Amino acid sequence: MSGGTISSDNYTLGGAKIYFTPVVGSSGVLDSSFRTTTTNLGNIVSADEVIEKYGRDVLRFYYLSSPPWEDYYFKWQDIEEIARTFVVIRNTFNFVKTYVDNFQEVENLKKEDLWILSRLNTLIENCTNYFLDFHAYKAAKEIKNFILNDFSRWYIKIIRDRVWPEYSGEDKKAAFYTLLVTTETLCKLLSPFCPFLAEQVYQEVVKRLKDGLESVHLSDWPKPKKELIDKNLEEQMEIAKEIFEACSAARQKAKIKLRWPVKSILVVSKDKKVKECVENLNEILKYMCNAKSVELKEEELKGNFSSHEFDLGKVFVNLERDKELIKEALIRELIRKIQDLRKKNGFKVREKINLSLSSDEATNELLENYEETLKKEVGAELIAIGETKGKFKGSLEFENKKIEISFDRV
Protein backbone atom coordinates (compact mmCIF):
# COMPACT_ATOMS: atom_id res chain seq x y z
CA MET A 1 0.00 0.00 0.00
CA SER A 2 1.19 3.51 -0.73
CA GLY A 3 1.47 6.38 1.75
CA GLY A 4 -1.30 8.89 2.45
CA THR A 5 -1.94 12.38 1.14
CA ILE A 6 -4.20 14.69 3.09
CA SER A 7 -6.53 17.59 2.40
CA SER A 8 -8.89 19.34 4.79
CA ASP A 9 -11.79 17.19 3.55
CA ASN A 10 -10.37 13.69 3.11
CA TYR A 11 -7.24 11.71 2.60
CA THR A 12 -6.26 8.74 0.47
CA LEU A 13 -4.63 5.68 1.94
CA GLY A 14 -3.48 2.80 -0.21
CA GLY A 15 -5.55 4.08 -3.11
CA ALA A 16 -8.79 4.18 -1.12
CA LYS A 17 -10.38 7.56 -0.40
CA ILE A 18 -11.37 8.01 3.25
CA TYR A 19 -14.02 10.58 4.28
CA PHE A 20 -14.70 11.89 7.76
CA THR A 21 -17.81 13.75 8.90
CA PRO A 22 -16.56 15.30 12.14
CA VAL A 23 -19.77 16.76 13.49
CA VAL A 24 -20.97 15.97 16.96
CA GLY A 25 -24.39 15.14 18.30
CA SER A 26 -25.77 16.06 21.70
CA SER A 27 -24.43 12.82 23.17
CA GLY A 28 -20.87 13.93 22.45
CA VAL A 29 -20.36 11.20 19.84
CA LEU A 30 -19.91 11.58 16.09
CA ASP A 31 -23.27 11.83 14.37
CA SER A 32 -23.35 12.15 10.59
CA SER A 33 -26.93 13.42 10.67
CA PHE A 34 -26.12 16.39 12.90
CA ARG A 35 -25.66 19.11 10.29
CA THR A 36 -26.60 22.37 11.99
CA THR A 37 -25.83 24.17 15.21
CA THR A 38 -27.66 26.89 17.13
CA THR A 39 -25.95 30.16 18.05
CA ASN A 40 -26.60 32.06 21.25
CA LEU A 41 -28.71 34.44 19.15
CA GLY A 42 -31.09 31.63 18.20
CA ASN A 43 -30.23 31.51 14.50
CA ILE A 44 -28.83 28.51 12.68
CA VAL A 45 -25.30 27.97 11.34
CA SER A 46 -24.69 24.97 9.11
CA ALA A 47 -21.74 22.73 9.87
CA ASP A 48 -20.74 22.96 6.21
CA GLU A 49 -20.39 26.72 6.56
CA VAL A 50 -17.96 26.34 9.47
CA ILE A 51 -16.05 23.54 7.76
CA GLU A 52 -15.63 25.60 4.59
CA LYS A 53 -14.10 28.45 6.56
CA TYR A 54 -12.05 26.64 9.21
CA GLY A 55 -11.89 22.93 8.29
CA ARG A 56 -13.30 19.79 9.86
CA ASP A 57 -10.67 19.39 12.57
CA VAL A 58 -11.34 22.81 14.05
CA LEU A 59 -15.10 22.19 14.26
CA ARG A 60 -14.59 18.71 15.69
CA PHE A 61 -12.14 19.96 18.33
CA TYR A 62 -14.49 22.83 19.19
CA TYR A 63 -17.26 20.40 20.13
CA LEU A 64 -15.13 17.70 21.69
CA SER A 65 -13.36 20.16 24.02
CA SER A 66 -16.67 21.11 25.67
CA PRO A 67 -18.65 19.06 28.22
CA PRO A 68 -21.21 17.06 26.17
CA TRP A 69 -23.98 17.53 28.73
CA GLU A 70 -23.97 21.32 28.28
CA ASP A 71 -26.16 23.06 25.70
CA TYR A 72 -24.19 24.07 22.62
CA TYR A 73 -24.59 27.74 21.79
CA PHE A 74 -22.33 28.29 18.84
CA LYS A 75 -20.12 31.41 18.90
CA TRP A 76 -18.03 32.42 15.93
CA GLN A 77 -15.46 34.06 18.22
CA ASP A 78 -14.97 30.78 20.11
CA ILE A 79 -14.30 28.80 16.97
CA GLU A 80 -12.01 31.56 15.69
CA GLU A 81 -9.99 31.18 18.89
CA ILE A 82 -9.71 27.43 18.28
CA ALA A 83 -8.63 28.16 14.68
CA ARG A 84 -5.88 30.50 15.96
CA THR A 85 -4.76 27.76 18.33
CA PHE A 86 -4.51 25.35 15.41
CA VAL A 87 -2.20 27.79 13.61
CA VAL A 88 0.21 27.61 16.55
CA ILE A 89 -0.12 23.82 16.72
CA ARG A 90 0.63 23.47 13.01
CA ASN A 91 3.60 25.83 13.29
CA THR A 92 4.92 23.75 16.19
CA PHE A 93 4.87 20.57 14.13
CA ASN A 94 6.30 22.45 11.13
CA PHE A 95 9.27 23.37 13.32
CA VAL A 96 9.91 19.68 13.96
CA LYS A 97 9.51 18.92 10.25
CA THR A 98 11.93 21.71 9.28
CA TYR A 99 14.76 21.01 11.70
CA VAL A 100 14.70 17.30 12.59
CA ASP A 101 16.47 15.38 9.83
CA ASN A 102 17.33 12.07 11.53
CA PHE A 103 16.18 9.86 14.38
CA GLN A 104 18.14 7.47 16.56
CA GLU A 105 17.86 6.12 20.08
CA VAL A 106 19.97 8.05 22.59
CA GLU A 107 20.87 7.56 26.24
CA ASN A 108 22.23 10.93 27.37
CA LEU A 109 19.28 13.29 27.60
CA LYS A 110 19.53 16.81 28.98
CA LYS A 111 17.31 18.08 31.78
CA GLU A 112 14.92 19.83 29.41
CA ASP A 113 14.56 16.57 27.43
CA LEU A 114 13.84 14.57 30.58
CA TRP A 115 11.33 17.21 31.64
CA ILE A 116 9.28 17.24 28.41
CA LEU A 117 9.23 13.42 28.33
CA SER A 118 8.04 13.43 31.94
CA ARG A 119 5.31 15.91 31.09
CA LEU A 120 4.40 13.86 28.01
CA ASN A 121 3.92 10.69 30.03
CA THR A 122 1.97 12.56 32.69
CA LEU A 123 -0.23 13.80 29.84
CA ILE A 124 -0.78 10.23 28.58
CA GLU A 125 -1.69 9.09 32.07
CA ASN A 126 -4.13 11.94 32.64
CA CYS A 127 -5.79 11.65 29.23
CA THR A 128 -6.24 7.90 29.64
CA ASN A 129 -8.01 8.47 32.96
CA TYR A 130 -10.19 11.19 31.44
CA PHE A 131 -11.37 8.83 28.72
CA LEU A 132 -12.04 6.05 31.22
CA ASP A 133 -14.17 8.53 33.20
CA PHE A 134 -16.01 9.67 30.01
CA HIS A 135 -14.46 13.14 30.31
CA ALA A 136 -12.83 13.32 26.87
CA TYR A 137 -13.28 17.11 26.79
CA LYS A 138 -10.75 17.38 29.65
CA ALA A 139 -8.25 15.38 27.60
CA ALA A 140 -8.72 17.72 24.63
CA LYS A 141 -8.03 20.79 26.78
CA GLU A 142 -4.97 19.25 28.44
CA ILE A 143 -3.46 18.15 25.13
CA LYS A 144 -3.93 21.66 23.73
CA ASN A 145 -2.35 23.19 26.83
CA PHE A 146 0.62 20.80 26.60
CA ILE A 147 1.32 21.64 22.95
CA LEU A 148 0.97 25.39 23.42
CA ASN A 149 2.63 25.96 26.79
CA ASP A 150 5.00 23.06 27.39
CA PHE A 151 6.07 21.97 23.93
CA SER A 152 5.90 25.12 21.81
CA ARG A 153 6.43 28.07 24.15
CA TRP A 154 8.96 26.42 26.45
CA TYR A 155 10.74 23.24 25.30
CA ILE A 156 11.20 24.29 21.66
CA LYS A 157 12.53 27.68 22.75
CA ILE A 158 15.07 25.99 25.04
CA ILE A 159 16.38 23.57 22.39
CA ARG A 160 16.20 25.87 19.35
CA ASP A 161 19.98 26.33 19.19
CA ARG A 162 20.53 22.56 19.62
CA VAL A 163 18.70 21.78 16.37
CA TRP A 164 20.16 24.62 14.29
CA PRO A 165 21.62 23.21 11.02
CA GLU A 166 25.11 24.58 11.75
CA TYR A 167 25.22 23.16 15.29
CA SER A 168 27.21 19.93 15.71
CA GLY A 169 27.12 19.19 19.46
CA GLU A 170 26.33 15.67 20.68
CA ASP A 171 23.16 16.91 22.40
CA LYS A 172 21.67 17.63 18.96
CA LYS A 173 20.80 13.92 18.60
CA ALA A 174 19.02 13.97 21.96
CA ALA A 175 16.95 16.98 20.88
CA PHE A 176 15.99 15.26 17.61
CA TYR A 177 15.03 12.09 19.49
CA THR A 178 12.94 13.96 22.04
CA LEU A 179 11.16 16.11 19.44
CA LEU A 180 10.18 13.13 17.31
CA VAL A 181 9.09 10.91 20.23
CA THR A 182 6.94 13.75 21.52
CA THR A 183 5.48 14.46 18.08
CA GLU A 184 4.62 10.81 17.40
CA THR A 185 2.89 10.47 20.77
CA LEU A 186 0.95 13.69 20.24
CA CYS A 187 -0.27 12.38 16.86
CA LYS A 188 -1.79 9.41 18.67
CA LEU A 189 -3.31 11.56 21.42
CA LEU A 190 -4.74 14.02 18.89
CA SER A 191 -6.14 11.39 16.53
CA PRO A 192 -9.60 11.10 18.16
CA PHE A 193 -9.99 14.89 18.26
CA CYS A 194 -8.53 16.08 14.95
CA PRO A 195 -7.96 13.04 12.70
CA PHE A 196 -6.80 14.95 9.62
CA LEU A 197 -4.12 16.99 11.39
CA ALA A 198 -2.94 13.93 13.33
CA GLU A 199 -2.63 11.91 10.12
CA GLN A 200 -0.92 14.72 8.23
CA VAL A 201 1.72 15.23 10.92
CA TYR A 202 2.22 11.46 11.24
CA GLN A 203 2.80 11.08 7.49
CA GLU A 204 4.87 14.22 6.89
CA VAL A 205 6.92 14.38 10.07
CA VAL A 206 7.06 11.02 11.86
CA LYS A 207 7.04 8.43 9.04
CA ARG A 208 9.60 10.46 7.11
CA LEU A 209 12.22 9.53 9.71
CA LYS A 210 10.85 6.57 11.62
CA ASP A 211 9.36 3.21 10.64
CA GLY A 212 5.80 2.69 11.76
CA LEU A 213 2.29 1.65 10.84
CA GLU A 214 0.79 3.03 7.65
CA SER A 215 -1.62 5.32 9.47
CA VAL A 216 -1.69 6.86 12.92
CA HIS A 217 -5.29 5.62 13.12
CA LEU A 218 -3.98 2.03 13.10
CA SER A 219 -1.93 2.74 16.24
CA ASP A 220 -2.82 1.71 19.77
CA TRP A 221 -3.55 4.38 22.34
CA PRO A 222 -0.19 5.13 24.02
CA LYS A 223 0.58 3.79 27.49
CA PRO A 224 2.40 5.98 30.02
CA LYS A 225 5.99 5.07 30.86
CA LYS A 226 5.85 5.74 34.57
CA GLU A 227 9.61 5.38 34.96
CA LEU A 228 9.98 8.59 32.90
CA ILE A 229 7.65 10.63 35.12
CA ASP A 230 9.55 12.93 37.49
CA LYS A 231 7.08 15.07 39.42
CA ASN A 232 9.86 16.93 41.23
CA LEU A 233 11.45 17.98 37.93
CA GLU A 234 8.04 19.03 36.59
CA GLU A 235 7.46 21.18 39.68
CA GLN A 236 10.91 22.78 39.39
CA MET A 237 10.31 23.63 35.74
CA GLU A 238 7.01 25.32 36.58
CA ILE A 239 8.92 27.54 39.01
CA ALA A 240 11.52 28.21 36.28
CA LYS A 241 8.69 29.39 34.02
CA GLU A 242 7.50 31.77 36.75
CA ILE A 243 11.02 33.13 37.20
CA PHE A 244 11.30 33.65 33.43
CA GLU A 245 7.95 35.49 33.30
CA ALA A 246 9.02 37.73 36.20
CA CYS A 247 12.36 38.36 34.48
CA SER A 248 10.60 39.31 31.24
CA ALA A 249 8.32 41.71 33.12
CA ALA A 250 11.31 43.31 34.86
CA ARG A 251 13.08 43.70 31.51
CA GLN A 252 9.97 45.27 30.00
CA LYS A 253 9.85 47.85 32.79
CA ALA A 254 13.45 48.81 32.01
CA LYS A 255 12.91 48.57 28.21
CA ILE A 256 15.60 45.90 27.83
CA LYS A 257 14.85 43.44 25.02
CA LEU A 258 15.12 39.73 25.78
CA ARG A 259 17.68 39.46 22.94
CA TRP A 260 20.05 41.71 24.88
CA PRO A 261 22.16 39.81 27.42
CA VAL A 262 22.28 41.09 31.01
CA LYS A 263 25.01 40.71 33.59
CA SER A 264 22.97 38.83 36.17
CA ILE A 265 19.53 37.78 37.36
CA LEU A 266 19.05 37.60 41.12
CA VAL A 267 16.17 35.58 42.54
CA VAL A 268 15.18 36.62 46.05
CA SER A 269 13.34 33.86 47.90
CA LYS A 270 13.57 31.76 51.05
CA ASP A 271 11.47 28.98 49.56
CA LYS A 272 13.22 25.59 49.39
CA LYS A 273 11.59 24.73 46.04
CA VAL A 274 12.92 27.92 44.46
CA LYS A 275 16.40 27.10 45.73
CA GLU A 276 16.21 23.63 44.16
CA CYS A 277 14.99 25.12 40.90
CA VAL A 278 17.77 27.71 40.66
CA GLU A 279 20.41 25.10 41.47
CA ASN A 280 19.12 22.25 39.31
CA LEU A 281 17.93 24.26 36.28
CA ASN A 282 20.52 27.02 36.35
CA GLU A 283 21.70 26.55 32.75
CA ILE A 284 18.12 26.61 31.47
CA LEU A 285 17.38 29.79 33.46
CA LYS A 286 20.53 31.50 32.16
CA TYR A 287 19.64 30.58 28.59
CA MET A 288 15.98 31.54 28.74
CA CYS A 289 16.57 34.75 30.73
CA ASN A 290 19.64 35.58 28.56
CA ALA A 291 21.81 36.29 31.59
CA LYS A 292 25.46 35.63 32.35
CA SER A 293 24.45 34.31 35.77
CA VAL A 294 21.32 33.46 37.75
CA GLU A 295 21.78 33.43 41.52
CA LEU A 296 19.58 32.91 44.57
CA LYS A 297 19.52 35.52 47.37
CA GLU A 298 17.54 35.58 50.59
CA GLU A 299 17.37 39.35 51.15
CA GLU A 300 16.06 42.31 49.13
CA LEU A 301 18.67 44.06 46.99
CA LYS A 302 19.61 47.68 46.45
CA GLY A 303 21.30 49.07 43.38
CA ASN A 304 20.72 49.45 39.67
CA PHE A 305 18.03 46.76 39.25
CA SER A 306 14.63 46.31 37.70
CA SER A 307 12.44 43.92 39.67
CA HIS A 308 9.19 41.99 39.47
CA GLU A 309 7.47 39.67 41.93
CA PHE A 310 6.31 36.11 41.35
CA ASP A 311 4.39 33.75 43.64
CA LEU A 312 7.39 32.50 45.60
CA GLY A 313 9.71 35.50 45.50
CA LYS A 314 11.05 38.39 43.48
CA VAL A 315 13.33 38.64 40.47
CA PHE A 316 15.93 41.39 40.10
CA VAL A 317 17.50 42.13 36.70
CA ASN A 318 20.91 43.81 36.84
CA LEU A 319 20.79 46.89 34.61
CA GLU A 320 24.54 47.51 34.48
CA ARG A 321 25.80 47.29 30.90
CA ASP A 322 29.49 47.10 30.07
CA LYS A 323 31.07 47.27 26.62
CA GLU A 324 31.01 43.50 26.15
CA LEU A 325 27.28 43.28 26.84
CA ILE A 326 26.59 46.11 24.40
CA LYS A 327 28.68 44.35 21.73
CA GLU A 328 26.76 41.11 22.26
CA ALA A 329 23.45 42.96 22.08
CA LEU A 330 24.50 44.50 18.76
CA ILE A 331 25.45 41.11 17.32
CA ARG A 332 22.16 39.55 18.48
CA GLU A 333 20.20 42.38 16.85
CA LEU A 334 22.19 41.95 13.65
CA ILE A 335 21.58 38.19 13.58
CA ARG A 336 17.87 38.75 14.11
CA LYS A 337 17.77 41.35 11.31
CA ILE A 338 19.56 39.08 8.80
CA GLN A 339 17.30 36.15 9.69
CA ASP A 340 14.24 38.37 9.17
CA LEU A 341 15.59 39.45 5.77
CA ARG A 342 16.19 35.82 4.81
CA LYS A 343 12.65 34.89 5.78
CA LYS A 344 11.14 37.92 4.04
CA ASN A 345 12.92 37.00 0.81
CA GLY A 346 11.89 33.33 0.89
CA PHE A 347 15.17 31.69 1.85
CA LYS A 348 15.00 28.13 3.22
CA VAL A 349 16.57 27.31 6.58
CA ARG A 350 19.47 25.30 5.12
CA GLU A 351 20.06 27.63 2.16
CA LYS A 352 23.51 29.27 2.27
CA ILE A 353 24.24 32.93 1.57
CA ASN A 354 27.25 35.12 0.81
CA LEU A 355 26.93 38.05 3.19
CA SER A 356 28.29 41.62 3.02
CA LEU A 357 28.29 44.04 5.97
CA SER A 358 29.48 47.63 6.16
CA SER A 359 29.57 50.25 8.93
CA ASP A 360 32.02 52.68 10.52
CA GLU A 361 35.61 51.57 11.09
CA ALA A 362 35.20 50.58 14.76
CA THR A 363 32.01 48.60 14.08
CA ASN A 364 33.59 46.85 11.08
CA GLU A 365 36.41 45.72 13.36
CA LEU A 366 33.86 44.41 15.88
CA LEU A 367 32.05 42.51 13.12
CA GLU A 368 35.32 40.87 12.06
CA ASN A 369 35.75 39.53 15.61
CA TYR A 370 32.30 37.90 15.43
CA GLU A 371 32.64 36.58 11.88
CA GLU A 372 32.48 32.87 12.79
CA THR A 373 29.49 33.42 15.06
CA LEU A 374 27.65 35.27 12.31
CA LYS A 375 28.42 32.52 9.78
CA LYS A 376 26.90 29.85 12.00
CA GLU A 377 23.86 31.85 13.07
CA VAL A 378 22.73 33.16 9.67
CA GLY A 379 23.92 30.36 7.38
CA ALA A 380 26.65 32.35 5.63
CA GLU A 381 29.26 30.61 3.47
CA LEU A 382 31.35 33.78 3.17
CA ILE A 383 31.26 37.17 4.91
CA ALA A 384 32.76 40.33 3.42
CA ILE A 385 33.08 43.22 5.88
CA GLY A 386 33.52 46.82 4.75
CA GLU A 387 31.60 46.51 1.51
CA THR A 388 28.02 45.88 0.42
CA LYS A 389 27.14 43.81 -2.59
CA GLY A 390 24.22 41.53 -3.14
CA LYS A 391 20.69 41.43 -4.46
CA PHE A 392 18.99 41.31 -1.06
CA LYS A 393 19.51 44.41 1.07
CA GLY A 394 18.64 45.89 4.44
CA SER A 395 20.15 47.81 7.33
CA LEU A 396 20.30 47.80 11.12
CA GLU A 397 20.38 50.85 13.39
CA PHE A 398 21.53 50.22 16.95
CA GLU A 399 22.55 52.88 19.49
CA ASN A 400 23.79 55.44 16.96
CA LYS A 401 25.43 52.80 14.79
CA LYS A 402 24.20 51.78 11.34
CA ILE A 403 25.15 48.56 9.57
CA GLU A 404 24.37 48.08 5.88
CA ILE A 405 23.46 44.50 4.99
CA SER A 406 23.42 42.76 1.61
CA PHE A 407 23.59 39.14 0.53
CA ASP A 408 23.10 36.70 -2.34
CA ARG A 409 22.39 33.00 -2.62
CA VAL A 410 25.51 30.86 -2.83
Q: Do residues 24 and 151 share a domain? A: yes
Q: Do residues 341 and 269 share a domain? A: no
pLDDT confidence of residue 40: 54
> In the listed set 165, 199, 228, which residue is the last one of a domain according to the structure?
228
Q: Do residues 195 and 55 share a domain? A: yes
Task: Report CA 64 to chain centroid distance, whole Å.
Answer: 24
Instruction: Tell me if the pTM is above 0.95.
Output: no
pLDDT confidence of residue 21: 38
Q: Give the count of domains, the chain.
A: 3
> In the listed set 175, 195, 228, which residue is the last one of a domain according to the structure?
228
Q: Do residues 387 and 261 share a domain? A: no
Longest dimension (CA), the chain: 73
pLDDT confidence of residue 301: 83
pLDDT confidence of residue 37: 57
pLDDT confidence of residue 75: 85
Which residues of the chain carry a pLDDT beneath 50? 1-35
Q: Do residues 390 and 288 share a domain? A: no
Q: Do residues 43 and 133 share a domain? A: yes
Which residue range is the domain that position 382 belongs to? Answer: 324-409
Residue 361 belongs to domain with CATH number = 3.30.2320
Q: Do residues 168 and 40 share a domain? A: yes
> In the listed set 257, 292, 321, which residue is the last one of a domain according to the structure?
321
Q: Are 62 and 76 in contact (CB under 8 A)?
A: no
Q: Do residues 70 and 81 share a domain? A: yes
What is the Cα–Cα distance from 30 to 2, expressed in whole angstroms? 28
Q: Do residues 130 and 217 share a domain? A: yes
Q: Do residues 260 and 205 share a domain? A: no
What is the Cα–Cα distance from 279 to 295, expressed in whole angstroms? 8
Q: Do residues 132 and 204 share a domain? A: yes
Residue 60 belongs to domain with CATH number = 1.10.730.10
Q: What is the pLDDT of residues 178-215, one digit of tens each?
A: 999 999 999 999 999 999 999 999 999 999 999 889 99
151 phi and psi, to 5 degrees?
Answer: -80, -55
Q: Do residues 106 and 173 share a domain? A: yes
pLDDT confidence of residue 27: 36
pLDDT confidence of residue 1: 31
Three-state SS string over the chain comes to: CCCCEECCCEEEECCEEEECCCCECCCCCECCCCCEEEECCCCEEEHHHHHHHHCHHHHHHHHHCCCCCCCCCECHHHHHHHHHHHHHHHHHHHHHHHHCCCCCCCCCCCHHHHHHHHHHHHHHHHHHHHHHCCCHHHHHHHHHHHHHHHHHHHHHHHHHHHHCCCCCCCHHHHHHHHHHHHHHHHHHHHCCCCHHHHHHHHHHHHCCCCCCCCCHHHCCCCCCCHHHCCHHHHHHHHHHHHHHHHHHHHHHHHCCCCCCCECCEEEECCCHHHHHHHHHCHHHHHHHHCECCEEEECCCCCCCEEEEEECCEEEEEECCCCHHHHHHHHHHHHHHHHHHHHHHCCCCCCCCEEEEEECCHHHHHHHHHCHHHHHHHHCEEEEEECCCCCCEEEEEEECCEEEEEEEEEC
